[in-house]
Amino acid sequence: MSAAASASPESAPSGAWPSAARLIARWLDRRERIDALLDTLPRTLNGPARARCQHLVLGVVRHFGRINAALERLVAHPPRFSTRAVLFVAGFELIEAASDGDDGRKAKIVHHAVEQTKSLASPAEARLVNAVVRKLAGALAAPAPTLSASAEELGDYFSHPAWLVRSWLAQFGPASTRALLEWNQRPAPVYARWRARDANDAPPDFLKPTQWSKMTEVESGRWSEVEPLLKTGRLYLQDPSTLIPVDLLAPKAGESILDLCAAPGGKSLYIADTMQSGRLVAVDLPTARIDRLKENLSRSTGIDVALVQADVLENAALSLREHKLPESYDGVLLDVPCSNTGVMRHRVDVKWRLQPGDFKKHPDQQLSLLHAAARFVAPKGRLVYSTCSIDTEENEKVVRAFLASKAGGPFELTRSVLSTPWTSGHDGGGAFLLQRSAK
């Protein structure tokens, strides 16, 4: 953890705490996506202050369920969002202090929250904050539930919707579900892929080796040294799990590869770096993420790269023809939109946006995309279907439905990788290699 992330309230960088409280008030009111919300932070809030603010916001959202359950027991009528946000930020700091074994911080957290309330809300509300935060530490100190606990108890303590916990208990059992919940509540390390120029191009010392040969872990507190490497493309931030679908596809020099649903382009860039020569065509909808895809593709070298803005389900074939690009490829990667249940450690607000109906909606769309992708696979070609979901509905069931369909008839499932975070040590997801026959 960086110094900015672990700073105590009274020593926190100026502006970090009130900025975090304002963003949380806005999130409580509008439930905006956290990545978009953090993008609204003023550029004047930089360095340690920005890092601390982001740490507080992500911490509150990660532990929202636990803090909210405790507050509901202490406050009969929820105050306005500005005051409620102070209670949530203080609640996260209390959880953080308890996990660090720093009981001496409790009084400082209470005092700091009261002082912040005077300017963020009103002196009258500061009295409420004083009374509630003093009791909140005890309310949050309850021990973790046992393995036999109900989905509701597990959901409250580990800050996940009970319906989602119930689904995982049915799929994975109590021990694995508990391991997953604990995993999701821990902040993720920052992993990066070093794009070596040659065999002698070693990464700098602040990029630490990991158990994955192509990945490094970024040492905390070194962002000033990391940022220039990101801007020049020498370094690319990504989780080890994102390499699995591309490694399964195994693109070779000189081949033609089609990357569908390609934005923001991390897998596209890895495909290009793996191939070194040949053709790569990246396709995605014309959304805000296209600029990231363009930037990533521009960093590729030695390979013919094309970007096509199209809807895979509607006009991809027509768009390829209009760009005078082939409609048949040696390899096709389809990384589908999904529930993101395998990446909740990184995307901390996903669990609060998911709905039970999404596990019907996503598989229907995923199967349609798989049918559409199959038409672009050449005879004897390869198709990789991948998700960042750990749920059976979006992985095995979709692939089985595809293979049982007319479009899936020429394909055979030759290999699959199902990653569960608590066993793999990185984000979760599914990747399935489908081989097309010669006909």
User: What is residue 100's predicted lDDT score, i.e. its pLDDT?
Assistant: 81
Helix (H, G, I), strand (E, B) or coil at 160: coil
Q: What is the pLDDT of residue 205?
A: 93
The residues that bridge with 215 in the sheet, in sequence order, are: 193
392-416 average pLDDT score:
97
pLDDT reported for residue 8: 52
Contact 427, 241 (CB under 8 A): yes
Residue with tokens 């919940």: 181
Average pLDDT over residues 407-418: 97
Q: What is the pLDDT of residues 276-305, one digit of tens each?
A: 999 999 999 999 899 999 999 999 999 999
pLDDT at 186: 94
Query: Considering only CA atoms, which of 204, 215, 434 is closest in space to residue 334?
Result: 434
Q: pLDDT band at 433, cuts 50/70/90?
A: very high
Name the least confident of 87-91, 137-141, 340-344. Answer: 137-141
Tell me which amino acid residue 2 is.
S
Q: What residue ranges of the chain are covered by domains with CATH 1.10.940.10?
A: 3-140
The CA distance from 80 to 31, in Å, is: 15
* pLDDT confidence band for 14 (50 / 70 / 90): low
CB 268 within 8 A of CB 242: no
pLDDT at 10: 45
Lowest mean pLDDT among 191-205, 349-363, 416-430: 191-205
pLDDT at residue 99 tops 80 = yes
Mean pLDDT (whole number) for 74-101: 94
Q: In the chain, which segments carry CATH 3.40.50.150? A: 239-436
C-alpha 261 chain-centroid distance: 16
Question: Residue 234: how many CB atoms within 10 A of its CB?
Answer: 17
Burial of 326 (0-12, 13-18, 19+ CB in 10 A): middle
- Percent of residues, the chain, with pLDDT higher than 90: 88
Residue 261 a catalytic site member? no
The pLDDT mean for the chain works out to: 94
pLDDT level of residue 358 (50, 70, 90 thresholds): very high
**What are the backbone dihedrals phi and psi of residue 381, each rounded to the nearest 5 degrees, phi first?**
-80, 175
pLDDT of residue 3: 41
Strand, coil or helix: what is 343?
coil
Q: Per-residue pLDDT averaged across 333-346, rounded? A: 97
- pLDDT score for 48: 87
At residue 7 the predicted structure's pLDDT band, cuts being 50, 70 and 90, is low
Is the peptide bond prior to 264 cis by the omega test (within 30 degrees of 0)?
A: yes
Residue 43 pLDDT grade (very low, low, confident, very high; cuts 50, 70, 90):
confident
pLDDT at residue 142 in the model: 87
Closest-CA residue to 244 (of 289, 274, 281, 222): 274
Active-site option among 53, 261, 338, 388: 388
Q: Is residue 154 within 8 Å of 145, Cβ to Cβ? A: yes
Q: In sequence order, what DSSP letters do the residues of 314-326 get, joined into one string?
A: TTHHHHHHHTT--
Q: In this model, does residue 199 exceed pLDDT 90? A: no
CATH 1.10.940.10 fits 3-140, yes or no: yes
CATH of segment(s) 239-436: 3.40.50.150
Partner residues linked to 383 by β-bridges: 332, 434
Please spell the DSSP secondary structure of 35-101, one letter per residue.
HHHHTTS-TTS-HHHHHHHHHHHHHHHHTHHHHHHHHHHH-SS---HHHHHHHHHHHHHHHHHHHTT
Least confident interval from 3-12, 89-98, 325-334: 3-12
Q: What is the pLDDT of residue 2?
A: 45
pLDDT in tens, 382-402: 999 999 999 999 999 999 999
